[in-house]
């Protein structure tokens, strides 16, 4: 580990960080090359690192004037893939190879063939993921002539993850910038973080927040008082995100705009959504991972496209592309003049749109690496908030800190550290985060959140005693929470002697233990039999199963789909998504996720996966407390180590366990609603136009263009009364 006694200079420490990062980069790049050469295509598909074959869809230019192409997965859709926004990918073409003895050597044709396969791979192009969901992806590719057409007309095309050079490049540039800094704010923060120097603070009376507990209130006030740095240390379930949102909200009363970052896209999405719920104008740089209309509505790309000036900008860009494609020889001067005029006009419109978008936004949200986006060029902020700072490498934090005068870090360094694949780099101290360094050197800027609202006391006590010095305490409403009377909140099952052996699948794919997976589901089945089917349906009890390995997660999902576990759960919806119980309004879910998955909320290894949205799955709409404080409990709160209890009455957006049984569902009800409204409206004609249906019909024949028999008169009058009565009863 890094020895602070021998390395006193901040610059020397940063140079050491750079050397360790270079070691991590070299080893990861070498491992990637080795895996791609030695690993067959089927295995890469099973790992979620490749799609093959794929269907290439349409190509177009997005709002950022980048050439994008749609990619659809046509097989293996049950495998959880690893494609997400910002990751580099490559397109390849496969040919049937002759012979069964394939090697990893270069073939005479210039193609490479993976050992143990019968196919040779030909690299076509590289790109970057712009959007990805289950079976569809949008990839930004270089704007080369005919590249999109080549991909669309090539058979046996596949796509796989490529080595990420961009993140490392940005981190190296950030470290160099910090090392060279002299006489500016960046140099001051560098020297402050690596020394025992006291951080400066403002002096004012504490602000009261009745909806927060004492520790949360103190944390918000400490953030507001800090001139240089503040740390919000949030153990699992203590409302760290809620506190951070409140601190941002109060900071915006004193500053016009702030920058909010996190290590992962999921963490950025989560805090951005919480801010939007508070009515804060957020501009999200980069596409969100949790894609829905609400999330997309505050992305930079979507708002750029919806700007009134965008159609004009798009037409100018289209004209420039057409001029480049249809350039004629001998007209160089005139051609260059036209292109330059159009480019100048396009730049003017783009600057005007950006000025308006950034001028309206109060919060700019992005990942740490995404803060280097060119749309943020020249942007400076007084305050930078970094969520999940304990999972970010120090070099990544410096990428965003070049734009800010002070920094607020939130996270929990007692949970998972950053991902470091090189053992040598980890042993040298690369995994030591900036947040951990500040906590050690400046404990006075740290505020520990002590009240947790998620776990039964017996579950919480283990982590509190071992990692937080016994300082974390349960809230009274969750202290003794349970499902069954005299229930055990935490049960340990000894698997020794059961022949539950782990099988190594791959470095990034993890391990699989089939015997333990079956034992888990058998234990779950037994517990559900104790609860009873009626109560499960009535209270919509959700279950969270977590595993540290992706392979184990996929195997558990497969077992649930194939077995008769929980017969009340619809077969079509078993596994990740759950489903609606036929004949009821209840939802019943078995959610399986990775315990150590980056992004989201807290990653404490013993935390049940009550909800993939993370902390405070369902909070009070008006008072964001970190727990539900209404008379009726809201949302999903943890009750045992493996089980979570969903309750009625939660109507907030995002609480997918809502029990709103009054809502009509199904096409039958929609059709009935339409018929009743139609009959009601038609019947109103008897009131406003009685002459149409009078017995003296021939007298008024000139007012209508279709015959209506006289016997319709009583029908419409009776129908009016019946339809009105029925509509009032039903709706």
DSSP 251-265: HTTT-S-EEEEESSH
Q: 320 and 339 in contact (C-beta within 8 Å)?
A: yes
Tell me, what's the pLDDT at 721? 66
Give the separation between CA 18 and CA 32, rounded to whole angstroms: 21
Per-residue pLDDT tens over the stretch 324-349 = 877 765 566 677 788 888 889 999 99
Give the separation between CA 644 and CA 540, rounded to whole angstroms: 10
Q: 500 and 544 in contact (C-beta within 8 Å)?
A: no
Which of 666, 662, 683, 690 has the alpha carbon at shortest distance from 726? 683
Cα angle vertex 522, ends 520, 527, to 5°? 95
The β-bridge partners of 381 are 404
Give the separation between CA 67 and CA 63, rounded to whole angstroms: 10
Q: 102 and 117 in contact (C-beta within 8 Å)?
A: yes
**Gyration radius of the chain's alpha carbons:** 30
Tell me, what's the pLDDT at 14? 92
* φ/ψ bin of 651: left (φ > 0), alpha (ψ from -120 to 50), beta (otherwise): alpha
Q: In what order do the strands lie in the sheet with 229-233?
A: 282-284, 363-367, 258-262, 381-387, 404-411, 229-233, 446-448
Give the separation between CA 471 and CA 449, rounded to whole angstroms: 9
Q: What is the pTM of this model?
A: 0.71
Report long-range pairs for 350-354 (Cβ below 8 Å, ≥24 apart).
Answer: 350/313, 352/309, 353/304, 353/307, 353/309, 353/310, 353/313
Average pLDDT rounded to a whole number, residues 3-25: 80
Average pLDDT rounded to a whole number, residues 66-84: 86
Tell me, what's the pLDDT at 328? 63
Per-residue pLDDT tens over the stretch 248-304 = 999 999 999 999 999 988 899 899 999 999 999 999 998 787 666 777 888 898 899
Per-residue pLDDT tens over the stretch 129-171 = 988 888 889 998 888 878 888 888 888 888 988 888 889 999 9
Tell me, what's the pLDDT at 444? 92
Per-residue pLDDT tens over the stretch 202-234 = 988 889 999 999 999 999 999 999 999 999 999
């Amino acid at each position: 580990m890094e020895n602070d006694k021998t390395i006193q200079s901040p610059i020397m420490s940063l140079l050491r960080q750079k050397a360790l990062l270079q070691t991590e980069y070299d080893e990861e790049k070498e491992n990637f090359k080795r895996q791609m050469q030695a690993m067959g295509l089927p295995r890469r598909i099973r790992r979620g690192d490749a799609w093959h074959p794929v269907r290439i869809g349409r190509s177009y230019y997005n709002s950022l004037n980048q050439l994008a192409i749609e990619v659809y997965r046509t097989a293996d859709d049950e495998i959880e893939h690893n494609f997400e926004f910002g990751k580099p990918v490559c397109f390849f073409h496969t040919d049937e190879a002759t012979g069964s003895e394939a090697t990893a050597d270069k073939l005479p044709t210039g193609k490479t063939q993976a050992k143990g396969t019968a196919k040779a791979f030909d690299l076509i192009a590289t790109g970057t993921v712009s959007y990805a969901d289950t079976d569809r992806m949008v990839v930004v590719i270089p704007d080369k002539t005919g590249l999109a057409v080549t991909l669309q007309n090539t058979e046996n095309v596949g796509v796989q993850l490529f080595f990420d050079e961009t993140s490392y490049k940005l981190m190296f540039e950030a470290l160099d910038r910090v090392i060279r800094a002299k006489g500016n704010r960046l140099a001051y923060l560098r020297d402050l973080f690596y020394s025992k120097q006291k951080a400066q603070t403002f002096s004012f009376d504490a602000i009261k927040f009745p909806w927060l507990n004492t520790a949360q209130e103190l944390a918000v006030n400490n953030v507001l008082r800090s001139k240089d740095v503040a740390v919000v240390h949030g153990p699992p379930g203590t409302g760290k995100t809620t506190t951070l949102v409140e601190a941002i909200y109060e900071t915006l009363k004193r500053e016009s705009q702030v920058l909010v970052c996190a290590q992962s896209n999921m963490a950025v999405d989560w805090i951005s959504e919480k801010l939007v719920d508070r009515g804060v104008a957020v501009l999200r740089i980069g596409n969100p991972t949790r894609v829905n209309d609400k999330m997309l509505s505050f992305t930079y790309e979507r708002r750029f496209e919806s700007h009134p000036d965008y159609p004009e900008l798009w037409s100018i860009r289209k004209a420039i592309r057409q001029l480049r494609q249809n350039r004629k020889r001998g007209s160089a001067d005139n051609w260059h003049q036209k292109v330059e005029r159009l480019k100048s006009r396009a730049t003017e419109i783009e600057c005007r749109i950006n000025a308006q978008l950034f001028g309206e936004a109060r919060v700019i949200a992005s990942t740490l690496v995404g803060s280097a986006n060119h749309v943020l060029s020249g942007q400076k902020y007084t305050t930078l908030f970094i969520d999940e700072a304990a999972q970010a490498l120090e070099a990544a934090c410096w990428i965003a800190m070049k734009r800010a005068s002070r920094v607020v870090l939130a996270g929990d360094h007692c949970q998972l550290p950053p991902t470091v694949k090189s053992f040598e780099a980890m042993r040298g101290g690369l995994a030591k985060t900036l947040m951990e360094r500040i906590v050690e050197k400046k404990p006075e800027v740290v505020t520990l959140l002590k009240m947790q609202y998620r776990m039964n006391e017996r579950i919480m006590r283990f982590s509190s005693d071992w990692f937080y010095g016994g300082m974390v305490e349960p809230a009274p409403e969750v202290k003794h929470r349970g499902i069954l009377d005299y229930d055990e909140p935490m049960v340990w099952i000894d698997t020794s002697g059961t022949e539950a052996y782990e099988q190594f699948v791959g470095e990034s794919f993890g391990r699989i233990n089939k015997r333990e997976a079956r034992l888990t589901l058998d234990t779950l089945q037994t517990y559900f039999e104790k609860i009873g089917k009626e109560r499960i349906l009535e209270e919509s009890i959700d279950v969270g199963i977590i595993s540290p390995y992706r392979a184990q997660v996929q195997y558990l999902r497969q077992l649930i789909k194939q077995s008769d576990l929980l017969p009340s759960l619809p077969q079509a919806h078993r596994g990740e998504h759950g489903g609606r119980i036929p004949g009821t309004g209840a939802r019943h879910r078995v959610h399986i996720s990775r315990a150590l998955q980056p992004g989201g909320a807290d990653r404490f290894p013993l935390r049940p996966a009550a909800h993939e949205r993370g902390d405070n799955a369902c909070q009070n709409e008006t008072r964001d407390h970190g727990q539900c404080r209404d008379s009726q409990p809201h949302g999903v709160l943890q009750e045992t180590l493996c089980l979570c209890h969903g309750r009625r009455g939660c109507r907030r957006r995002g609480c997918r366990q809502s029990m709103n049984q009054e809502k009509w569902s199904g096409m039958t009800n929609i059709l009935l609603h339409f018929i009743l409204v139609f009959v009601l409206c038609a019947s109103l004609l008897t009131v406003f136009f009685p002459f149409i249906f009078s017995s003296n019909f021939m007298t008024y024949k000139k007012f209508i263009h279709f015959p209506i028999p006289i016997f319709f008169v009583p029908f419409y009058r009776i129908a009016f009364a019946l339809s009105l009565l029925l509509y009032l009863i039903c709706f």
